[in-house]
Amino acid sequence: MPELIIDGQPLRVAQGTTVAAALMSAGDRCSRTSVSGQRRAPLCGMGICQECRVNVDGLRRLACQTLCRDGMHVETRP
C-alpha cells in the first residue's frame, strides 16, 4: 500500500490507485486552480481534458494517467 503526500498531507492508497483517484479523496478533492481562480477536479478520467494536471515530484503530469507510488509528492496548487 503506497503512501503519497498530497499538498503536504500523507495519504495511503491501494496498490494500483491513480493519482486522480487519490486526490479526489484528499484535501479539497481538487486537482488544480483555473486561470480565473476556480478550483477544478478531474473530469474525463482518461487523459483528454487536462483538468487533472498536477505537479508530481516536480514534473507536470496527468493525475489520471499516473499511478501512486510510495513517497510521491503531489501538488495541486500553483
Partner 1 sequence: MSRPVDLLIIGAGPAGMAAALAAAPSGINIALLDDNPVPGGQIWRDGPQAQLPGLANDMRAQLARHPNIHLHSACKVVALAGHKRLLLEDPERGWLLSYHKLILCTGARERLLPFPGWTLPGVTGAGGLQALIKGGLSVEGERVVVAGTGPLLLASAATARKNGARIVRVAEQAGPGAVGRFAMGLWQWPNKAIQALTLFSGAYRIAAHVVEALGSDRLEAVRIQMGERVEEVACERLACGFSLVPNVEVAKALGCEVRDQAIVVDNWQASTLTDHYAAGECTGFGGSELALVEGRIAGLVAIDRQDQARALWPQRERWQRFADRLNRAFALDPALKRLAAPDTLVCRCEDVAYASLVEHGTWSAAKLNTRCGMGACQGRICSTAAQTLFGWEPPVLRPPFSPARIATLACLDEAEPAA
* Site residues, partner 1 (CB under 8 A): 13-18, 20-22, 24-25, 28-30, 34-36, 38-51, 53, 59-61, 64-67
Specify the residue, 6 or 42, whose C-beta has the smaller distance to partner 1. 42
Least gap, CB of 47 to partner 1 (angstroms): 5
Alpha-carbon distances, residue 63 vs 36, 39, 43 (angstroms): 21, 15, 11
Amino acid residing at 56? V
Q: What is the nearest approach in angstroms of partner 1 to the Cβ of residue 67?
A: 5
Q: Are 78 and 7 in contact (CB under 8 A)?
A: no
